Structure 1
Amino acid sequence: MSCVQLNTTPVVCRRSVRNTSAIKRAACRHCSIRCESKTIDESCVVVNDRQTSQTSRRSLLGLSAAAIGTTAAPKPSFAALFGGKNNLQAAFEAAMKVQDDPVALEAAWTECIRIAPNNAALYGNRGTVRLGLKRFQEAFEDLEKARDLERAAYGYASGFTMVALGNARGALGDWESALEDFDAAQEDEYPGVKALAMSSTALAKFELKQDTEAVSVAKSVLEEAPDYQDIQAALAGLLWAAGDKKGAQTNSDAIGGNDVLQNFVTIEQDTFGWPPRTIAAVNAYLSESSTGSAIGYDGVSTTYTF
């Protein structure tokens, strides 16, 4: 049997509390991967990734674009990519070259899917990119397909797939079902998935106005992952909405202060990394107001009262 072995390292967009210039909008939602070496064998592609530590919620979702259906799941650690081996390899490498251009990247994954139409990883990749392009219905359909293919092949879907699917559901307005996806994601023992799923749960609950539960879950994430800056930044808004001004300030200070928090919320609004009500709550905190605004998934700005 012959394989193309791609040893890859995800380039994870981690934020620095002290260096806001490290926050790069283009890289944050869809982290690229770098192919370090390859050896050609016969009819499959094996992707081995080494995850870095202290990844953020959006970074982990970006990481899923490199790993969904392959090493995003504890086992098996490979996915057979059916179709013309040489054509698929060329299409995959073309995708790697356009990581910073989401429109071109979406087209590249579409070409990969044309060659290998039954591979979960490729649908997961394209679905994740489509989330960033705000093509939420198409993203949902891709991620649902990735989930179904993973379950058929492995007996379960990876946590990365389930979190991305939940985010797509939420963008379409079904946060209750999204919570079920996030719960399912927590069954995946792959490093970082539980914190990712729990943080997504916290933000979904806040979107559903289950504010007390949202704060509790967010705090639980930080107990398990104290360096999880994305949820710490969001928690500043959640606590402000709950009337805990001191707690909001403490969490803002923990990530470097209000200037850093402003950078967070700007990027989260641009990428819809947080749901609208969370963005509005952080904006309310930053303006020391009982109201805050955010642009929704429909492109319309809404003002929330806390």
Structure 2
Amino acid sequence: MSGLWALLLVVQLALPQAFDQALTASRQGSFEQALPLWNQVIELAPNDAAAWSNRGNVQLTLGDPEAAIADQTRAMELDPASPDPHLNRGTAEEALGQWQAAEADYRWILERFPASGARDAPGREAAGEPRASALYNLGNVQGSLGDWPAARLAFEQAAEARPGFAMARSSAALAAFQVGDLAAAERELRNLIRRYPLFADSRAALTALLWQKGARGEAESHWAAASGLDPR
């Protein structure tokens, strides 16, 4: 019996350090190093939902969406109330073009984190953050399927759910461009550039819009600025 207690003590002492090492490697982008570290954490604590979800994120980054989906599904089984595995699994499903499955995961979050009432619910995470991410990803799914009006609405709702969500506002402007509402798209993109002058995506999007309008001189200026901010 004493041997069992000693083993449990060793695990309890080793787990926090192993988790921190794996998380640090993930945050630093050292994903090939992070994967075996998360494997170690899961060996020490096979019922740790966060470890499974984090390993799933690493699996996806390393190009294995199927393994990522399996890990996120296991995380859901261990922590059925958490939105993170659904969000992460949806991202992996998008990578495989499994649009309906991804949409189902995002809508699972939206149903449980409604636009009003949940923010002040005791014992629950504020609704805005998971809701904003789910709406933004849902917009990406709808855009991939060519439903730009629905995508635009989802992006706009994501921006409302998380103030300062510049990427959602930029994506909403792109969706407006896709449905032919060029005036709204240009207005939003210019507003974003004024507020976030280093945001390359908005400048690149405005470049395309201005080029279509025939304002090639200004388009080239914004393209040069965008290229300098983000060499992609």
| 1:225 partnered with 2:157 | no
**Relative to total residues, which structure has the larger helix share, 1 or 2?**
2
Choose which of 68, 90, 103 in structure 2 pairs with 1:166. Answer: 90
Residue equivalent to 1:185: 109
Amino acid aligned to 1:122:
A
Q: 2: distance between equivalents of 1:283 and 1:172? A: 30
Is the contact made by 1:236 and 1:252 (CA closer than 8 Å) also made in structure 2? Answer: yes
| 1:112 partnered with 2:41 | yes
What TM-score comes out, normalization by structure 2 length?
A: 0.71
Amino acid aligned to 1:86:
L
1:183 CA displacement = 0.8
**Relative to total residues, which structure has the larger strand share, 1 or 2?**
1
Per the alignment, do residues 230 and 241 of structure 1 end up closer, same or farther by CA in structure 2, a change over 3 Å counting?
A: same
1:260 CA displacement = 4.0
Per the alignment, do residues 259 and 103 of structure 1 end up closer, same or farther by CA in structure 2, a change over 3 Å counting?
A: farther
Q: 2: distance between equivalents of 1:149 and 1:225? A: 28
What TM-score comes out, normalization by structure 1 length?
A: 0.55
Amino acid aligned to 1:163:
L
Residue equivalent to 1:79: none
My pick for the range that moved more, 250-259 or 183-192, is 250-259
Amino acid aligned to 2:85:
T
1:194 CA displacement = 1.1
Q: 2: distance between equivalents of 1:127 and 1:265? A: 33
Q: Determine helix, strand or coil for the equivalent of 1:255.
A: helix
| 1:103 partnered with 2:103 | no
Gaps of 5+ in 1: 1-42, 45-82, 267-281, 291-306
Residue equivalent to 2:21: 94
Per the alignment, do residues 225 and 94 of structure 1 end up closer, same or farther by CA in structure 2, a change over 3 Å counting?
A: closer
Residue equivalent to 1:262: 200
Question: What root-mean-square deviation, in Å, do the aligned CA atoms of Structure 1 and Structure 2 show?
Answer: 2.9
Larger relative CO (CA 8 A, sep 6+): 1 or 2? 1
Per the alignment, do residues 260 and 243 of structure 1 end up closer, same or farther by CA in structure 2, a change over 3 Å counting?
A: farther
Choose which of 245, 248, 251 in structure 1 pairs with 2:188. Answer: 251
Q: Determine helix, strand or coil for the equivalent of 2:180.
A: coil
1:225 CA displacement = 3.2
Q: 2: distance between equivalents of 1:175 and 1:167? A: 10
| 1:198 partnered with 2:135 | yes
Q: Determine helix, strand or coil for the equivalent of 1:217.
A: helix
1:248 CA displacement = 1.8
Amino acid aligned to 2:149:
T
Q: 1: distance between equivalents of 2:212 and 2:12? A: 58
